[in-house]
């Protein structure tokens, strides 16, 4: 499990502010869904949480200190023609834990277990670029799993998937969160199924927090008219 403490976090690309003074606390084992219009700063916030962007000010911290996020970027940010096998893609998620160019027996076992968890083990030797969109998402989620310690950050994990495939992926995330204790944070534009399993919701607007709270409080506010 992991908790997240975000304190007055501001982010910018050069002189242009994108995220401004974002603060929230997500408890251990939470399931946070980040919502908001395109350009509201959601993906930029995620990149900071994944350690890919340095804050202009403020901070984001995980507890315990050994938490390591597994990050799944938007599918558009990932080369679909990546020339590697499925197992090689998943094994690349272990490189953040070691400086070695060679994969240990333990790393290979973790990759196999993650692929099995995603029902993709029979595809281990297949080319990543030969997979369907839904299969690629499962492989990339397996990669995030082997990289993660306590926390998954998933940027629009069901984007471009059909309803049935998206439902399967939501079920996997629900199981990881409820049965295996993984803290899950996702960005979603699916305002129905995408929010079903959320313990908390963070709504972004123009780079700022418009709402943060429990799922029940969010829907109560929406019912009152926002």
Cβ count near 143 (within 10 Å): 25
**Percentage of residues of the chain with pLDDT beyond 90:** 65
pLDDT band at 58 (very low <50, low <70, confident <90, very high): very high
Residue 75 lies in a domain: no
Three-class SS state of 104: coil
Per-residue confidence (pLDDT) for residue 102, from 0 to 100: 56
Q: How far apart are CA 96 and CA 124, in angstroms?
A: 21
Residues 158 and 63 in one domain: yes
- Residue length of the chain: 226
* pLDDT recorded at residue 86: 95
Is 69 in contact with 148 (CB distance < 8 Å)?
Answer: yes
Q: Are 157 and 140 part of one and the same domain? A: no
> Are 11 and 62 within one domain?
yes
- Tens of pLDDT along 106-156? 888 999 999 998 899 999 999 998 998 888 888 998 999 999 989 999 999
User: Domain limits at 135?
Assistant: 80-147
Residues 63 and 173 in one domain: yes
Look up the CATH number of the domain holding residue 62. Answer: 3.40.50.300
**pLDDT value at position 226?**
60
Q: 201, 185 in Cβ contact below 8 A?
A: no
Q: pTM for the full model?
A: 0.89
Q: What is the pLDDT of residue 98?
A: 55
Residue 189 counted as domain residue: yes
The verdict on residue 57 lying in a domain is yes
Average pLDDT of the chain is 89
On whether the CB atoms of residues 147 and 68 are closer than 8 A, the answer is yes
Tell me which of 147, 169, 198 is where a domain ends. Answer: 147
Question: Is residue 110 in some structural domain?
Answer: yes
Contact 31, 57 (CB under 8 A): no
Q: How many Å apart are CA 183 and CA 150, to the nearest integer?
A: 6
Same domain, 6 and 53: yes
Report yes or no on 119 lying in a domain: yes
Confidence of residue 96 (pLDDT cuts 50, 70, 90): low
Per-residue confidence at 161, pLDDT binned at 50, 70, 90?
A: confident
Q: Give the Cα separation of 122 and 87 in Å (integer).
A: 10
If one counts the domains in the chain, the total is 2
**Is the distance from CB of 162 to CB of 14 less than 8 angstroms?**
no
Among 112, 147, 182, identify where a domain stops.
147
Query: 75 falls in which pLDDT band (50, 70, 90)?
Result: low
Identify the sign of the CA torsion 58, 32, 70, 12: negative
């Amino acid at each position: 499990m992991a908790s997240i403490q975000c304190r007055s976090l501001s982010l910018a690309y050069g002189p242009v502010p994108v995220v401004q003074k974002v603060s929230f606390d997500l408890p251990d084992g939470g399931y946070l869904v980040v919502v908001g219009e395109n350009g509201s700063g959601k993906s930029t916030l995620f990149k900071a949480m994944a350690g890919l962007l340095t804050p202009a000010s403020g901070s984001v911290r995980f507890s315990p200190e050994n938490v390591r996020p597994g990050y799944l970027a938007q599918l558009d940010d990932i080369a679909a023609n990546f020339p590697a096998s499925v197992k090689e893609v998943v094994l690349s998620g272990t490189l953040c834990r070691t400086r070695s160019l060679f994969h240990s027996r333990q790393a290979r076992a973790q990759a196999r277990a993650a692929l099995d968890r995603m029902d993709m083990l029979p595809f281990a030797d297949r080319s990543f670029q030969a997979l369907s969109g839904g299969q690629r998402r499962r492989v990339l989620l397996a990669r995030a799993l082997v990289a993660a310690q306590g926390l998954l950050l998933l940027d629009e994990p069901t984007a471009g998937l059909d309803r049935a495939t998206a439902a399967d992926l939501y079920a996997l995330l629900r199981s990881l969160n409820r049965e295996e204790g993984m803290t899950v944070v996702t960005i979603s534009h699916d305002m129905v199924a995408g929010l079903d399993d959320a313990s908390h919701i963070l709504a972004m607007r123009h780079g700022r927090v418009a709402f943060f709270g429990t799922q029940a409080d969010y829907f109560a506010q929406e019912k009152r008219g926002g």
